[in-house]
Amino acid sequence: MATGVVVFAHGSPVESANEAVRQVARVISEDANFPLVAISFLDGGKPDLPGAVEELLAKGADRILVVPYFLTVGLHLRRDLPDLIERIRAEKTGLEIQVTPPLDGHPMLGSILRDRAKEGLAQWHS
């Protein structure tokens, strides 16, 4: 099976913020396990989730894995994303779609924040 991965982010009218999401998606696509990667935005960017799914299906994906680029499970992941997934499932009968957990709870998150704190300290000492 060909799995398409969608990096699902909030989106922003600030294009540099959307570009940061695109850069993360490029890192994922460099892994041979994930040749089919697209980005999608809830608001403030294009494409939206249905558009990203269409893009991946056109490239040969037959199942979709949505990876939320959100820190915690808030309103968008409790309400908006499930609503979007249900609409896609209704339109694409039989298409497998799964959603991963958000970044919160990942074992590397504390290490990443610790590294940022160290960077901040280093700026004060330079």
Q: What is the pLDDT of residues 33-80, one digit of tens each?
A: 999 999 999 998 899 999 999 999 999 999 999 999 998 888 899 999
Query: Which tokens go with 35?
Result: 């040749």
Query: Which tokens go with 121?
Result: 């300290």
Residue ranges per structural domain of the chain: 3-124
Supply the pLDDT for residue 72: 87
Marked catalytic residue, from 10, 76, 106, 125: 10
Classify residue 4 by burial, with Cβ atoms within 10 Å: 0-12, 13-18, 19+: buried
Residues 9, 95, 100, 42, Cα dihedral to 10°: 20
DSSP 66: E
Domain 3-124 has CATH 3.40.50.620: no
Element (H, E) at 118: helix 109-124
Q: Is 10 noted as a catalytic residue in this protein? A: yes
Supply the pLDDT for residue 126: 73
Q: In what order do the strands lie in the sheet with 96-99?
A: 36-41, 3-9, 63-68, 96-99
Looking at every residue in the chain, the average pLDDT score rounds to 94
Inter-residue contact 5 to 38 (CB < 8 Å): yes
